[in-house]
């Protein structure tokens, strides 16, 4: 059975640091691995940044969509 996904809760982080932490966590993933981002708002701008910088290399699945917490499973696609 695979290990549970890492949970990255950025709600207590200052906004200026959040994207850096999220991208550092993503870069640390192996192919096929994922983490669950926990945020206090819909991270849609983050999705657009991923789409611009990592097109076709990531997955993005909402697990919870507010109103108090948003949980998004972000994964690294297995590259051929």
Contact 79, 56 (CB under 8 A): no
pTM over 0.85: yes
Which residues, listed in sequence order, are joined to residue 74 by a DSSP beta bridge? 35, 60
- What are the domain boundaries of the chain? 6-76
In this prediction, residue 4 carries a pLDDT of: 74
Confidence of residue 78 (pLDDT cuts 50, 70, 90): confident
At the topology level, CATH places domain 6-76 in Translation Initiation Factor IF3 (3.30.110)
Q: Which two tokens stand for residue 26?
A: 């993503």
Question: Tens digit of pLDDT for each residue in 2-50?
Answer: 567 899 999 999 988 999 999 999 999 999 999 999 999 999 999 999 9
């Amino acid at each position: 059975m695979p290990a549970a996904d890492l949970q990255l809760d950025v709600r207590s982080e200052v906004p200026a640091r959040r994207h850096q932490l999220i991208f550092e966590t993503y870069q640390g993933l192996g192919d096929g691995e994922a983490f669950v981002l926990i945020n206090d708002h819909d991270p849609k701008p983050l999705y657009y940044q991923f789409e611009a910088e990592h097109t076709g290399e990531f997955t993005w699945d909402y697990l919870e969509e507010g109103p108090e917490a948003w949980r998004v499973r972000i994964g690294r696609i297995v590259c051929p």
